[in-house]
Amino acid sequence: MALIDCLSTTEALAAIFSDDGVLRAMLEFEAALARGAAAAGAIPDFAARTISEAASGKGFDTAAIAAAARAGATPAIPLVKALRDRVQAIDAPSAAYVHLGATSQDVTDTALVLLLKEARAPIAADQQRLDRALRRLSERHASTTMIGRTLLLPATPITFGLKVAGWSSAIARSWRRLDDAWERSLVIQLGGAAGTLAALGEKAPGVVEGTARELGLRPAPPWHTDRDRLGAVVTACGLHVAALGKAARDVSLLMQAEVREAAEQGGGSSTMPQKRNPSGCALVLAAATRLPGLVSSYLTAMVQEHERALGGIQAEWPIVSAAVQATGAAVAALAGVVEGLDVDPDRMRFNFELTGGAVFAERAAMLLAPAIGRDRAQQLVVGAVAQSRESAVPFAVALRDAARAEPAIPAGLLDDLDVPERYLGESERIRIRLLAETDE
């Protein structure tokens, strides 16, 4: 894990996209190509064996390959050369069969797909943890009442279970989109120089099938300049991280010292002993800050020229790698946040008072309107809100005082005005439906 990127990945993902991981993916392609070609009768078996052996060895100099990549604008050229040299040293006649029929982009694209394939499991595992934790949290707080807030200000009561169900359903939907796009992206790239597989002659279809089988990828027509499958993964990462970010932002707002309705376990500070920082939320929000730009770069890169692009394709590796790692980092971080979330229902209730109870104003207007008309009801309510703000008297008290002067208002009408449970509306039904409908 590079120090400069340490907040934007997980250890598992950093390993996958490390020099070793990237090298191995490229060599895996070359070895699978050789074995696939041999199985299809396009190259001799001995060559496939030698190439496989050479490709599985250690000791490739990734730094040298990386440094040489810029000359040809692809790491595939020095990689293939290094592999060919190695094969040559083991068994010279096999060398002519290295990379046969493939082009540089076949290596780099399929390697990227292999890295995606590998990255899927650890992210899915964290996602599963997150999903489970969210559902559990929502269930547990199905009837925990709290202030609903719009534009950061008290609106009307909701339940914490409802709020969490909102996070859960959006995250489940966006995960489904991502997972689906991910699955569709797992196709081999093998097209040769201009995507016609001409260098493989009649054996071409068999070589593609065989190589794909070796790699556990689906065969597909070459997609050298049709980047939509990868683009769908990257944009779905963007949508997913945005959904994660929404939850993280909410948690971090609830965790403010003045609100304190929920708190992640968090991390410390290098100087302030009292700090229990929303570190997990910070990581999620950092990912949510980065993804939109990464998505934008990927979309820009997709406008690719003819049969291989100039600029677009060469930009993709760092974009996809950063997008996937940041997504994984965000899923892992939010899973940790939700699993360890301390929720404080007492404080949630206390905050109704702390904020003076204006959260009941809409309900008050609703209750009063039938008796005294909408306009007069609004007047009374606005007056009580103002009085409550000035004099620190709770809104409900102020309004009851005012209501007493209005004979048209039935006695007792406002008695339970400040009982939040009486104004939850469809909260519970919606909550249940949100948790149920993840199949969209």
Residue 111 or 215: the one with the smaller Cβ distance to a second copy is 111
Neighbours of 3 (CB within 10 A): 6
How far is C-alpha 115 from the geometric centre of its chain's CA atoms?
17
Cβ 94 to a second copy shortest distance, Å: 11
Cβ 2 to a second copy shortest distance, Å: 6
Find, among 133, 43, 58, the residue nearest to 95 by Cα: 43
Query: Cβ distance 253 to 334 under 8 Å?
Result: no
| 308: annotated active-site residue | yes
3 state DSSP class of 159: strand
Q: Catalytic one among 70, 140, 269, 404?
A: 269
Bridge partner list, 145: 159
Cβ 342 to a second copy shortest distance, Å: 11
Residue 70 or 404: the one with the smaller Cβ distance to a second copy is 70
| 269: annotated active-site residue | yes
List C-alpha distances in Å: 144 to 171, 420, 427.
Answer: 22, 10, 11
- Work out whether the CA dihedral 80, 86, 91, 93 comes out positive or negative: positive
Cβ 182 to a second copy shortest distance, Å: 14
How far is C-alpha 355 from the geometric centre of its chain's CA atoms?
35
- Angle between helix axes 19-39 and 62-72 (nearest 10 degrees) is 70
Q: What does 118-147 look like in DSSP terms, one character per residue?
A: HHHHHHHHHHHHHHHHHHHHHHHTTT-EEE
Cβ 128 to a second copy shortest distance, Å: 19
Alpha carbons 36 and 43: distance in angstroms, whole number: 9
Q: Catalytic one among 308, 363, 400, 431?
A: 308
Cβ 247 to a second copy shortest distance, Å: 9
Alpha carbons 339 and 265: distance in angstroms, whole number: 9
3 state DSSP class of 411: coil
Find, among 184, 182, 183, 189, the residue nearest to 211 by Cα: 189
Which residues does 412 contact at the CB level (< 8 Å), separation at least 6?
none
What residues are labeled active site? 269, 308
